[in-house]
Amino acid sequence: MLGLYVSGHPLNGIEHVLAAQSDTAIPTILEGAIKDGTQVTVGGILASVNRRINKNGLAWASAQLEDLTGGIEVLFFPQAFSVYGMDVAEDTVVLVKARVSIRDDRVSLIANDLVVPDLSAIGVAKPVAVTLATRSCTPDKVRALEQVLTRHPGTSDVHVRLVGGGGPRLYKVDDRLRVEPSSALMGDLKALLGPTCLA
């Protein structure tokens, strides 16, 4: 249903910025070409962020870091999370410095540094991220969402995260529906999709 106007990947157009500041691609790590314990810098967009509390009462998080070629689990243990936790959020474009961890064929990254790159220099505004339950994604709802976006034209991309039914999937709305991220737009989106759609 979203195929009407959803296309591409949220990183399209900024992948060169991330590549210039990264030293390792995600598939290279997943394929086992990087040794356990190696320090790498990887760029991408955070998805499926899960915040947790350990047995000592300290906050930490796990997240899926995705680029145009794949995704890998990144663990933000309490020491790193206490410093960078504010930026560990879904749909945030980041550069992560981390240590490769290989345990029983499970490959992940242990983060020790996180940077949110400045994308303003290339004219890329922060996208407006909307969460929508897959079961609620009806043709009528999609048309209504398109009408809301049309009423608030601007330069910011819109990302739609579908949740439920096989895990979250992230889509970038067609460029013709870029918006101005105003309070009026946020109000219209919450009225249409519910108060938690922008959380």
Cβ partners under 8 Å of residue 143, min gap 6:
none
Q: Are 10 and 159 in contact (CB under 8 A)?
A: yes
Q: What is the pLDDT of residue 120?
A: 63
Q: What is the pLDDT of residue 125?
A: 61
CATH number of 14-115: 2.40.50.140
Q: Are 111 and 74 in contact (CB under 8 A)?
A: yes
Distance (Å, whole) CA 13 – CA 172? 12
Within 14-155, residue ranges assigned H as helices are: 15-21, 26-30, 78-84, 139-150
Distance (Å, whole) CA 20 – CA 48? 25
Q: Are 21 and 95 in contact (CB under 8 A)?
A: yes
Distance (Å, whole) CA 72 – CA 109? 8
Q: Where in the chain do CATH 2.40.50.140 domains reside? A: 14-115
Distance (Å, whole) CA 30 – CA 52? 25
Q: Which tokens in the block code for residue 83?
A: 């410093």
Q: What is the pLDDT of residue 4?
A: 44
What would you report as the CA-atom Rg of the chain, rounded to the nearest whole angstrom? 18
Return per-residue pLDDT of the chain as tens, 199 residues.
Answer: 444 444 556 777 777 778 889 999 999 999 989 999 999 999 999 988 999 999 999 999 999 999 888 899 999 999 999 999 999 998 899 999 999 999 988 999 999 999 998 776 555 567 888 988 888 888 899 899 999 999 999 878 888 888 876 667 788 888 788 888 888 999 999 999 988 888 6
Q: Are 93 and 31 in contact (CB under 8 A)?
A: no
Distance (Å, whole) CA 148 – CA 5? 14
